[in-house]
Amino acid sequence: MMGEKENDIFQRLILPIATVVLMWLVKIVEVGRGIKYTRWGIYPREWEGAIGIFTAPFIHSDWQHLMSNSLPMFMLLSLVMVFYKRVAIPAITIITLFTGFVVWLFARESYHIGASGVVYGLVGFLAWTGIFRRNLKSIILALVILVMFGGYFHGIVPTKEGVSWESHLFGALVGIFTAFLFKNVREEDEFSRPDPWADERGKTEYFLPRDAFDLTKEERYHRSLQPPEDE
């Protein structure tokens, strides 16, 4: 049987697993039906294209596009869900919807599809949470993100045709904004725990009297004969 901690982690991984599974199911259905779901992406400043704010992260142009987003999406969602439990759901929701909305407002007129905007948002959130919170856990996570996803920074500029660099850029900015928004929401393991031995640390007991080596045996004997002083 799983312990309470293992069961909690498993429950936290349900969302990352379900998200990636849904991404693959959409692609399988798309290929099976022989049609393209590109029209369900974000098309800026068109009301019909606003539906993509909700659907675009699950639609990918080809298998390579899907595979390149699947592992990062799973890893980043898992890190947020496991290590930032209190803010995980609202943070992921804001990153997903607000990134799509900003893309719809400002991106060039083309269909924008794929989960990369959310991926960049999660990278920005995890990296900058370490900067804003400055505790050991968040700093370590930020360093891990910078090592693993540092190469993503070149994706926020238009370097390759057919790639929605706007989604990358706006996703990263929304992720930073979300990290700032929740910077004061502390997790349980981020609070300083009370020292159970604090009371005992102030009490020091000694085996010998403190003046054991300051007086001779005769001096201690004469002192013991004197009456105690009133306090």
pLDDT at 227 over 80: no
> What does the pLDDT look like over 154-212, one tens digit per residue?
888 887 777 889 999 999 999 999 999 999 998 887 766 555 555 555 555 655 666 66
pLDDT at 35: 92
pLDDT at 54: 97
Q: Which backbone phi and psi does 3 adopt, to 5 degrees? A: -75, 175
> In this model, does residue 5 exceed pLDDT 50?
yes
Backbone angles phi, psi at 42, to 5 degrees: -85, 125
pLDDT average, residue stretch 56-62:
95
Query: Which pLDDT score is estimated for 231?
Result: 45
pLDDT of 70-92, one tens digit each?
999 999 999 999 999 999 999 99
**Runs of H (alpha helix) within the chain:** 4-12, 14-33, 52-55, 63-83, 88-106, 116-133, 136-149, 165-181, 198-201, 217-225
53 C-beta neighbours (distance < 10 Å), count: 20
| Domains of the chain: residue spans and CATH | 4-186 (1.20.1540)
